[in-house]
Amino acid sequence: MANTLRIEQMSRKEKLQAMEIIWADLSKTDAEVESPAWHQDVLKKTKARVVAGEEKALNWEMAKRELRKRLE
């Protein structure tokens, strides 16, 4: 690959930004991606925790902010 990235030299922030860019591009064609069977089980368990008040839902922007705080 002509434009090889030196991932080891990237900061954590740069790596997360790169992942977001890649994910945004991949998600444009999400109909082509088949979720593994275990995803449904994880989603059901998460929903049960939210309903039971054991976990709160965050929108994607808030979730990214929380994750960035933890990684700084």
Q: What pLDDT score was predicted for residue 2?
A: 47
Q: Compute the 3-state secondary structure of the chain and give helix, strand, coil in percent, each to the nearest 5.
A: 70, 0, 30
Is 0.75 topped by the overall pTM? no
Whether residue 27 lies inside any domain: the answer is: yes
> Do the beta carbons of residue 71 and residue 16 sit within 8 Å?
yes
Structural domains of the chain, count = 1
Whether residue 56 lies inside any domain: the answer is: yes
> Tens digits of per-residue pLDDT, 3-62?
566 888 889 999 999 999 998 998 888 777 788 989 999 999 999 999 999 998 889 999
Q: What pLDDT score was predicted for residue 53?
A: 94
Q: What pLDDT score was predicted for residue 35?
A: 85
Whether residue 2 lies inside any domain: the answer is: no
Distance between CA atoms of 23 and 51, rounded to whole angstroms?
29
Distance between CA atoms of 14 and 5, rounded to whole angstroms?
11
Q: What pLDDT score was predicted for residue 3?
A: 56
Task: Residue 62: give the domain boundaries.
Answer: 7-71
Distance between CA atoms of 7 and 5, rounded to whole angstroms?
6
